[in-house]
Structure 1
Amino acid sequence: MLRKRTAGQDGGERAQPDRRKATCEAPAAVNKQQEKRSCWSTVVLLGKILLLVIFVPPFLNYASLQRERQELGPKGAQLIDVGLGQKISLICKGHGQPVVILDAPTGMSSDVWYHVQESISQATKVCAYDRVGLGFSWRVMENQTTGMEKVWRSSTTGRMVDDLHRLVKAAEIATPFILVGSELGALNGRFYSHIHDAQVLDLVLISPIPEDVFEEEKWQQYWYTHLVPTLQMMQLSAAAGVSRLLLILGLLQPTLRGDDVTEAVVQRQKYLLSNPAHQSSAVDEHFFLNESASQVRDISKFKPLSSSTSVTVIVGDSFDEELPAHLNQVFAELQRKALERAYPQAHRIHIQGADRRMIYKKPSSVSKHLLELVSKRQTKQQRQ
């Protein structure tokens, strides 16, 4: 006898394919969850690595800088309090008079005078210093100072000259002295000599910046669209700890190096390349160089240089051999006109095969002329 199929039996048979379907779908759902977990784990791992890359190098760099500042300071250097909460690193070598004061190029520390200072110290006392914010000098925050910042913007020649004048007083440097400046240091030397002419016997300008160079569009474009952004990247690299890594890998090299440079100087250069505070001041000096040049132009008109101060100008074949020829030509022509206008009686010296780096790439050539100047002054003093 045939039995009648019940609804429950029909449902059971229909449920079997559904169970088989659910059984097949279950592993797929599990796999998707595992894939999600795996993707999320990868994201978390990448985030951790990114955090390590962002935060660990700057932290390690900062810790290293604190230790190196104590260990790498120039031997024999003094940290002179010049007021306004600022302290300037001054290193003097040798004995005798007249004293020679060396003012470094734009954005550079006193170490660039290493070879020149060693040579000159054999004949007389020679002092090099780090401008405020550079090297081992202390740069005070803007809201902590009072006085000359109301007159001269920070990182311009006016402020630097005011700092140097207070340094000369605080360090009791014998006057009158021979003042030697390169690039921005030359602008500072000019400003100082016009204001404090009784303190300067001889003014030596190395690769001097002409006051009106930034009125030339091509030069201004190079300076503010290429050079300054490059220096800003160096500052960012130092702050991120990348510069230290590049130095370790040998992909970044200090300015002064070679067999004739001591290990202490090399390590100081590496410290400064890794120091965002030093790099920040270097950026500021380049950024405000236009204003510094304007200040020198104004002071030259207001107070001409005393006839008792001699001027010597030392130049190379070009301002910078790495620049395009047309920019060097523009610079050379403006420099020639500016010097003829301001110091028509200046003694001009040309160093073959040199550019603005001559003070550390051809130091013997620079030292030779400075030693001749020192010798003339010493001979004159002896006769008197």
Structure 2
Amino acid sequence: MRRRPEPQPSSNEATDADTKEQERPAENKSRVSYSSLLLNTGKCLLLLIIIPPFLNYASLQGEGRMLMPKDGEIVDVGLGQKMHLLCKGQGKPVVILDAPTGMSSDIWFHVQDKVSTLTKVCTYDRMGLGFSKRQMQNESTGTEKVWGMSTTGRMVDDLHRLLQTAGIAMPFIFVGSELGALNGRFYSHIHDVQVSDLVLIDPIPEDIFEEDTWNKYWYGKALPSLQALQFSAATGLSRMLIILGAMETIITGEDVSEEVMQRQKYLLCNPAHQSSAVDEHYFLNKSASQVRDITKFKPLSSRTSVSVLTGDVFDEQMPTDLNQMVSRLQKRFVKESYPSANHVHIKEADRRMIYKKPSAISAYLRMLVSQRRSTEQSQ
């Protein structure tokens, strides 16, 4: 039998087969190229995620040693804690400056320099801020179990041990702004014989967190912006933004030294500092509650004079209705808590007056030092 011949593909079918055979390598090549692109992109993203934090961490190690103020000292206050203290000038009474919420002692740069030509002026960094060591999880002072971390009660205990260890002459003039004002009030009520004059700059009213509008602003806007700074510092983004000129420090001006400018940049890039700043803001309501309780338990000594310094508004960047609310609460707080206080108005100022209107604050503190000296001499 004859074998039937195999059917031969038509010319069109042969052409389609050849085309498919040619397309397969092209498709494979395209897939390989796409995979390579994804792989290279992933590598680049991984480098962008890893390298900035690594370089930032490496830079922070050297900057922390180089940028600490030359006149500053790290004081061992006991219980495993060390704090940064910077004193300038000579004489009595000593002036103690306590910074606003989440800020380092550099914020007093102008004021300290001007007042230190008349008497001794000391600033310090609260635990975790600036150059004061942040408490590690396996360390315990015992006070955080009583007062809680990052609250006024804990801060005042730290400050009391710091001033005693450093041998600061007493009684002194205590000057505090915002959270520093809460600390000043707490300290003055507990250790009244140690404070001759209490100066409150834009004090936080104790009952402000009972207002819903304030809580929405504080926890809905102010705190998230600080948390974003903390994330930016942790990822190394802050350092990149500073290098590119897209992020600036708070303290600026021609009369600000290069050392202070570099130190402010270092703190912007320091996740530990930013984390402590977030904590202080987060627990500010608890700090206010602690001060309210302690002032009711122990009234302020009649020997301690009180001054309150406020500007035109609390914060020019806040809505008008919020500023009006804070002003109303501040006036009521001063009237009820310190009816004999000397209320000083600083024109064209808000809560940033420490570094935007330092001359007005310095002039008042110098006058207060002179008055205290005259009073002591007459006695």
TM-score, normalised to structure 1's length?
0.96
1:7 aligned onto 2:7: no
Superposed counterparts of 1:269-308, under 5 Å = 269-308=264-303
Superposed counterparts of 1:254-265, under 5 Å = 254-265=249-260
- Larger C-alpha radius of gyration, 1 or 2? 1
1:181 aligned onto 2:166: no
1:34 aligned onto 2:2: no
2:167 paired residue number = 172
2:310 paired residue number = 315
Match of 1:242 among 216, 237, 245: 237
Superposed counterparts of 1:118-137, under 5 Å = 118-137=113-132
Can you give the 5+ residue segments of structure 2 that lack an aligned partner in the other structure?
A: none
Retained in 1: the 8 A contact 2:91–2:119? yes
Partner deviation per Cα, 1:132-161 (whole Å, 9 max, x = no partner): 000010011243114211111110000000
Query: What value does the CA root-mean-square deviation take over the aligned residues?
Result: 1.4
1:110 paired residue number = 105
Superposed counterparts of 1:82-101, under 5 Å = 82-101=77-96
Deviation at 1:86, TM superposition (A): 1.4
1:330 aligned onto 2:325: yes
Match of 1:44 among 29, 32, 39: 39
* In 2, Cα distance between equivalents of 1:265 and 1:314: 26
- 2:53 is paired with a residue of what secondary structure? helix
Match of 1:194 among 171, 189, 197: 189
* In 2, Cα distance between equivalents of 1:23 and 1:14: 12
Aligned length: 379
- 1:117 is paired with a residue of what secondary structure? helix
1:230 paired residue number = 225
Amino acid at match of 1:274: C
* In 1, Cα distance between equivalents of 2:38 and 2:80: 48
Match of 2:149 among 151, 154, 158: 154
1:352 aligned onto 2:322: no
Deviation at 1:20, TM superposition (A): 4.3
Amino acid at match of 1:182: S
User: After the TM superposition, which segments of 4 or more aligned residues of structure 1 sit over 4 Å from their partners?
Assistant: 15-20
Amino acid at match of 2:335: E
Amino acid at match of 2:289: S
Deviation at 1:18, TM superposition (A): 5.6
Retained in 1: the 8 A contact 2:80–2:141? no
* In 2, Cα distance between equivalents of 1:192 and 1:118: 24
Deviation at 1:118, TM superposition (A): 0.3
* In 1, Cα distance between equivalents of 2:345 and 2:82: 36
Amino acid at match of 2:227: Q
Deviation at 1:17, TM superposition (A): 6.3
Partner deviation per Cα, 1:272-296 (whole Å, 9 max, x = no partner): 0011100000000000000000000
TM-score, normalised to structure 2's length?
0.97
Amino acid at match of 1:7: R
Amino acid at match of 2:145: K
* In 1, Cα distance between equivalents of 2:266 and 2:149: 24
- 1:151 is paired with a residue of what secondary structure? helix
Can you give the 5+ residue segments of structure 1 that lack an aligned partner in the other structure?
A: none
Q: After alignment, is 78-87 or 43-52 more displaced?
A: 78-87
Deviation at 1:322, TM superposition (A): 0.7
* In 2, Cα distance between equivalents of 1:143 and 1:227: 30
Partner deviation per Cα, 1:316-344 (whole Å, 9 max, x = no partner): 00110111100000001011111111100
Amino acid at match of 1:215: E
* In 2, Cα distance between equivalents of 1:52 and 1:119: 47
Partner deviation per Cα, 1:217-242 (whole Å, 9 max, x = no partner): 10111000111011101100100111
- Over the matched positions of the two proteins, sequence identity in percent amounts to 60
* In 1, Cα distance between equivalents of 2:188 and 2:137: 27
* In 2, Cα distance between equivalents of 1:84 and 1:39: 59
- 1:7 is paired with a residue of what secondary structure? coil
Deviation at 1:196, TM superposition (A): 0.2
* In 1, Cα distance between equivalents of 2:128 and 2:272: 7
* In 2, Cα distance between equivalents of 1:293 and 1:160: 13
* In 2, Cα distance between equivalents of 1:336 and 1:121: 31
Deviation at 1:27, TM superposition (A): 1.1
